[in-house]
Each structure stands twice: as C-alpha cells, then as structure tokens.
Amino acid sequence: MLPVAKCVANAEECFAPYPALHNGHLSVRTFSPITATYACNSGYTGVGPVNKITCPPGGTWSAMSYTCYPPGRCRFRPIDKRGV
C-alpha cells in the first residue's frame, strides 16, 4: 500500500501531491468537492470498489482502494457455472 499523501482542503493548494497509483494515472480532478479519479494504464486491469479519492477539510487524502494489475494477472476467482 502506498503511503497516504497530505493534501490541503483548499482548491489552490490541493493540486499536489496527488497520491501515485502504480501502473495508473490521474484521469480527472475536481474542486468542489476536491477529488482525484484514477485510471489504469493501457492494458492494465483496474480492481477495487472505488477509483476516486477525496480531500476533505483537515487535509488528508482518503485511502486508495483501487489497484491496476498487469495483463494476464486476473485477481478475480473463476465463476463456478456448475449450478447455472
């Protein structure tokens, strides 16, 4: 897990540092509320419940719960279709 970066709950100062996402990149940022949305690099698969973090008053980015996996490294269990 990457360390949690500090942010400032102020639009002028919340540009950086945005936390890094291995094998991914910042795709969208908003300022009301202050958020950062991530996407995986080409060929990588995103896994996790949320690909967005927020910077609430108080100045600490929310935890990243999204990971980008390389091609061929699926993190999902195969679906058992025997009962279907």
Q: Return averaged pLDDT per consecutive 10 residues of the chain, 84 residues in all.
A: 55 63 91 88 92 84 90 63 59
**Alpha-carbon gap, residue 84 to 55, rounded angstroms:** 44
Res 34: pLDDT: 85
Distance CA 28, CA 21 (A): 13
* Distance in angstroms (rounded) separating the CA atoms of residues 47 and 2: 16
User: Residue 12 has what pLDDT?
Assistant: 46
Domains in the chain: boundaries: 24-69
Q: Is the whole model's pTM more than 0.95, yes or no?
A: no
